[in-house]
Amino acid sequence: MMQKYIVQAVVLGVSLLIAAVLLIVAAGLLGAAVYFELGLFLAPPLAALAAALGVLVAAVVVVLLGRGFGRMLGTRARRRHAARAAAAPAGLRGIAADLGMLVGEELVKRARANARGTILASLVAGFAVGASPGLRRLLRDLVEI
């Protein structure tokens, strides 16, 4: 059962990787087209500068739109979660759920307070999992439980 999901994730990952490569190639060709078009009106160094600035402006717009949509979706999810938590009595959620929420909130606070440490720990953990077959096996066994 788990293998089916792993295969689906691998196929999705490969298709996204191929799509990303194709997008990079398309962006390069678009930049070249803009450069050659601007080369008709401007000196080559100025045409390259104008094309690069256009790409940078487009990248900034994409990042700002992504942040806006991310905040909008995050706000909706938080509201939905708060509404569900308020609708269910504390007895139904259980002590374990309350404890889990408290621990989760505390971990999020600590991770945000120590962003560099969190990133460094994530990188070290990623390298450790990538380098150690025994650790990968242990994590896989934990997920299967």
- Name the residue ranges covered by the structural domains of the chain: 1-87, 94-145
Q: What is the pLDDT of residues 103-131, one digit of tens each?
A: 888 888 888 888 888 888 888 888 777 78
The set of residues, in sequence order, having a beta carbon less than 8 Å from that of 143 and lying 6+ positions away, is: 2
Q: What is the pLDDT of residues 38-48, one digit of tens each?
A: 889 888 888 88
pLDDT at position 130: 79
The rounded distance, in Å, linking the Cα atoms of 111 and 118 is 6
Q: What is the pTM assigned to this prediction?
A: 0.41
In angstroms, how far is CA 140 from the centroid of its own chain? 22
Angle between helices 2-39 and 44-87 (to 10 degrees): 150
pLDDT at position 117: 83
Length of the chain: 145
pLDDT at position 82: 64
The rounded distance, in Å, linking the Cα atoms of 92 and 98 is 10
Q: What is the pLDDT of residues 48-102, one digit of tens each?
A: 888 888 888 888 888 888 888 877 776 766 666 666 665 555 555 567 777 778 8
3-state SS assignment for residue 109: helix
Q: Is the dihedral of CA 80, 83, 86, 87 positive or negative?
A: negative
Helices (H), the chain: 2-39, 44-87, 90-113, 115-131, 133-144
pLDDT at 135 over 60: yes
